[in-house]
């Protein structure tokens, strides 16, 4: 039954938006289903893991707080309560189209009140471009030098990517995942760039940002 469920999730991936809301303990194949959703929202007290943390610890894996909402970097949103998690899910469902053949939604809107300034933090730069109070940030706890959010501009649903001063491989993974999501459902992407480049190489596996640059270029292409 779990295999059939995950097969169906894979089948409609990129066709119908899928939003998972995790409010309690979600483990094993259930966690796989939640992680495969386009957007995964967790309450702060929820747990998301494939292998139970106590089993992992018994085998010598000592990752602190494994399975918690704070550690679930793939969770798009971590909300303080179950009610707020449900509200965030409803907001995102409203911004996304019903399927990949329908266009983005259109909403009533208020003009932004902030002004776009050079050197502004990514979130503040985005706030100066999108409609007032329309942004819903995704992946705030992951790749923090890149800001990604669903919002509206002139009442039209859009995705927003705003960069910070330096980009790490986590930032690139975050931006790439978000842009692919927008592309799947034909949601326009606004990109605000203010960056000096990639962080210096830490290992031979990260070759001066070239892999990250190639990944971003391929995603946007």
Distances (CA, A) of 104 to 2, 53, 100, 162: 32, 40, 9, 20
Residue 208 confidence (pLDDT): 61
Average pLDDT, the chain: 87
Q: Which helix (H) or strand (E) holds 94?
A: helix 82-95
> What is the C-alpha separation between 98 and 102, in angstroms, rounded?
7
Residue 45 confidence (pLDDT): 86
When pLDDT is cut at 50, 70 and 90, the band that residue 201 belongs to is low
Higher pLDDT, 210 or 19: 19
Residue 67 confidence (pLDDT): 65
The 3-state DSSP class for residue 122 equals helix
What average pLDDT does the segment 210-219 reach? 87
Lowest mean pLDDT among 9-18, 53-62, 193-202: 53-62
What average pLDDT does the segment 115-135 reach? 91
Angle at 24 between CA 20 and CA 26, to 5 degrees: 65
Work out the percent of the chain whose per-residue pLDDT is above 70: 87
What average pLDDT does the segment 29-49 reach? 90
When pLDDT is cut at 50, 70 and 90, the band that residue 80 belongs to is very high
Q: Is the pLDDT of residue 205 over 60?
A: no
When pLDDT is cut at 50, 70 and 90, the band that residue 52 belongs to is confident
pLDDT tens column, 98-114 = 999 987 778 899 998 88
Place of tokens 């983005």: 104
> What is the C-alpha separation between 145 and 162, in angstroms, rounded?
9
Q: Is the pLDDT of residue 204 over 60?
A: no
Higher pLDDT, 149 or 167: 149
Q: Is the pLDDT of residue 118 over 60?
A: yes
State phi, psi for 154 to the nearest 5 degrees: 60, 30
> What is the C-alpha separation between 125 and 186, in angstroms, rounded?
23
CA nearest 72: which of 27, 109, 108, 102?
Answer: 27
CA torsion angle for 15, 133, 69, 169 (degrees, to 10)? 70
């Amino acid at each position: 039954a779990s295999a059939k469920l995950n097969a169906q999730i894979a089948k409609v991936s990129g066709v119908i938006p899928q939003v998972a809301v995790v409010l309690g303990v979600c483990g094993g194949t259930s966690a796989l289903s939640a992680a495969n959703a386009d957007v995964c929202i967790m309450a702060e007290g929820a747990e998301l893991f494939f292998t139970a943390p106590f089993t992992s610890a018994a085998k010598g894996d000592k990752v602190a707080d494994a399975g918690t909402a704070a550690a679930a970097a793939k969770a798009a949103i971590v909300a303080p309560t179950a009610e707020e998690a449900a509200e965030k899910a409803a907001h995102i469902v409203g911004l996304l189209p019903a399927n990949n053949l329908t266009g983005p939604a259109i909403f009533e809107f208020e003009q932004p009140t902030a002004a776009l300034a050079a050197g502004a933090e990514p979130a503040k730069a985005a706030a100066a471009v999108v409609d007032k109070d329309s942004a819903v940030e995704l992946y705030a706890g992951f790749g923090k030098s890149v800001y990604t959010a669903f919002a509206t501009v002139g009442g039209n649903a859009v995705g927003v990517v705003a960069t910070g001063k330096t980009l790490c491989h986590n930032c690139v993974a975050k931006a790439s995942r978000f842009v692919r999501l927008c592309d799947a459902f034909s949601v326009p992407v606004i990109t605000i760039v203010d960056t000096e480049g990639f962080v210096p190489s830490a290992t031979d596996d990260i070759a001066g940002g070239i892999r990250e640059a190639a990944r971003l270029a391929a995603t946007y292409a």
